[in-house]
Chains A and B, each alone.
Chain A
């Protein structure tokens, strides 16, 4: 079916709405907003930037930062070296070496579990692939180091981190961990005065996260 094209005559419209007052006042109103913003910025009422690292923004609960290996009750890694994360990893940055465990109900544990943080693309596939809730992510972003060797994190570094409580837990399958615990005590982060836009401050704590209902097996 042929439809008629809607024609807008630009010159006609501009001629109709044109007036000297509007032409002069328009830019002045805009300039007024700019000046108000400038005044607010200069007096510190609002700031587009924050003073990092003294001030930090809070990231989402599903932020994908450096990984955490979760622990069993006894503090050993929850990981059973099944290689699901290494298989799913698109960056090929996870290296696992399994070992035998005496407990026949566990059987297998990682002798080495290393993540090359320089190769990692922080996609979170490893967290999705893990059948044991053994690997989750944190909101930690400050992972730079002076040598390349330091950027390959082993089991110890992935399990226990002093600085981690500052950032909190990131992307994980369950909001509250079900099968596993953490090898460190996460201290409640102190509420920080947030700089930046007011709207940003309001949204920061309210970003929703998705939780998966765990299958209890009883139903």
Chain B
């Protein structure tokens, strides 16, 4: 553990760490453009120059490894003058079109200019080197004039996806990034380059002109697109999700997201939302009901039909807390044994990789959680078994949870069709869903539940890592989070139900379920807590 002196304070660094990393660990921000924690070090932007005693010249903090007894100064006048000079060089050809630039508000050029620069430009607009603007590269928009040539995007495609779409062209003042012939990027991870671009050269096409970033509120969450469980930040305003940004977690997704996950929130905007509980009345027509009336009617009817004829089909997209209460209600309280969650071969696919960067084949965020809760019954064997049981009359009533998949795959239509068939085959069916679908007309009771980003809860990813996904937006109508629905059913059914928040549910779950034992609530937040096998 080398110790060194950083701005007159002795601090400890990890062996092999560079100055910029060690400083970051101790809360000292050294300005930088090209350095990125998850990319190879390039050292080209020269913004991170620091003074190291006994070195004749200033040295870049991102390439200099900390050694014992080093004396580093990152904030004295000499360093500030040098950084101001570098910034002035980088801004020489900058078009200063901040009013139309989506990066404004989170742009490193703006930030560092306010700290180090505040100089008047010596270059008139007419003498600036003009390059291509607003080049459509598919998922991202390229503006070559705003680029500071830090090569983060180039290194991303070279080292992370190993495809190398972007390259430098030209030399000196005329150097610019781009693809050959401005071909659009065809890469499932393109969105990342817009996120890691420290300036406005690469901006997100989907987010283009949607909102100014300073209006957005951020909520830490976890992607609901597949079993990887990438850490992300939901940027939202007034109940609308605007974009998803990666949150660094070295154990899961480093700093990356796949494009499918990044734009998955659009899937929730499609289609009509269910807003009120619908219960079929005597004529078989669905009528709006209060939650209390709906819950009571469900509980009474299920008890009439009897435990042996009740079938429960949970969803691997539901949170751990909801699945736990689902099992508490149907399994413990009513005594049903036919519980499952599989509509496809999720249990087998959950650890199957789709590529070697992030994605997994199972497009549900919580298959592992459902498996840890023993929701896959061998007796039923997935949805096909459930349909068979319903047709044979072994199961007469069913409680079915269905969430729209956030990331679409070919099998989804089949899975939904099978659920529709199951609902048709059952005498009495309770469907809990977030979005309206035609097959729900067959259901006896349809209950509206919160979708991803609308409820607090935890997901267990393919590694068995329990991670917290926080609520970002408020659902409309009478929509309730799924855990609350089952807590209510438990209550009307006469069982003890004292949970006020999903955290309370998790605390109970950590006590009662072996796999989650010992997990503290705070541990789930970041970097996640591993459930036992």
Contact = CB atoms under 8 A, between A and B. Distances in A.
A81 B132 CA distance: 21
Given A80-B99, A98-B209, A100-B209, A107 B134 contact: yes
Task: Indicate the member of A84, A217, A218 with the most B CB atoms within 10 Å.
Answer: A217
B124 A217 contact: yes
Contacts of B125: 217
Given A104-B133, A217-B124, A218-B124, A83 B212 contact: yes
Nearest to A216: B124
Contacts of B100: 80-82, 106-108
A87 interface: yes
A107 B99 CA distance: 10
A41 B52 CA distance: 84
A218 B127 CA distance: 10
Nearest to B126: A217
A100 B99 contact: no
Interface secondary structure of B, over-half rule: loop
A87 B99 contact: no
Interface in A93-137: 98-100, 104-108, 131-132
A81 B104 CA distance: 13
A84 B212 CA distance: 10
Q: Interface majority SS on A: helix, strand, loop or mixed?
A: loop
A198 to B, nearest CB: 47
Contacts of B124: 217-218
A81 B209 contact: yes
A106 to B, nearest CB: 7
Contacts of B134: 104, 107
Given A98-B209, A99-B209, A100-B209, A84 B99 contact: yes
Classify chain A: how many residues form its interface, as a range.
Answer: 10 to 19
A52 to B, nearest CB: 41
Contacts of A100: 208-209
Contacts, number: 39
Interface centre among B125, B132, B212, B214 (most CB of A within 10 A): B212
Nearest to A131: B99
A70 B132 CA distance: 28
A207 B147 CA distance: 47
A206 B1 CA distance: 75
A108 B208 CA distance: 10
A125 to B, nearest CB: 16
B188 to A, nearest CB: 25
Interface string A193-219: 000000000000000000000000110
Nearest to B141: A107
A107 B212 contact: no
A81 B210 CA distance: 11
A106 B126 CA distance: 16
Given A81-B209, A100-B208, A100-B209, A107 B133 contact: yes
Which of B97, B126, B215 has the most C-beta atoms of chain A within 10 angstroms of its own C-beta?
B97
Interface string B116-153: 00000100111000001110000000000000000000
Contacts of B212: 82-83, 87
Contacts of A105: 133
A16 to B, nearest CB: 67
A87 B211 CA distance: 12
A94 to B, nearest CB: 12
Nearest to B122: A219
Interface in B486-507: none
Nearest to B130: A105
Contacts of A98: 209
Nearest to A96: B212
A201 to B, nearest CB: 43
Nearest to A132: B99
Interface in B185-243: 208-209, 212, 214-215
A31 to B, nearest CB: 65
Nearest to A111: B209
Contacts of A87: 212, 214-215
Contacts of A132: 99
Interface string B293-318: 00000000000000000000000000
27 contacts: A80-B99, A80-B100, A81-B100, A81-B209, A82-B98, A82-B99, A82-B100, A82-B104, A84-B99, A87-B214, A87-B215, A98-B209, A99-B209, A100-B208, A104-B132, A104-B133, A104-B134, A106-B100, A107-B100, A108-B100, A131-B98, A131-B99, A217-B121, A217-B124, A217-B125, A217-B126, A218-B124
Interface of B: 97-100, 104, 121, 124-126, 132-134, 208-209, 212, 214-215
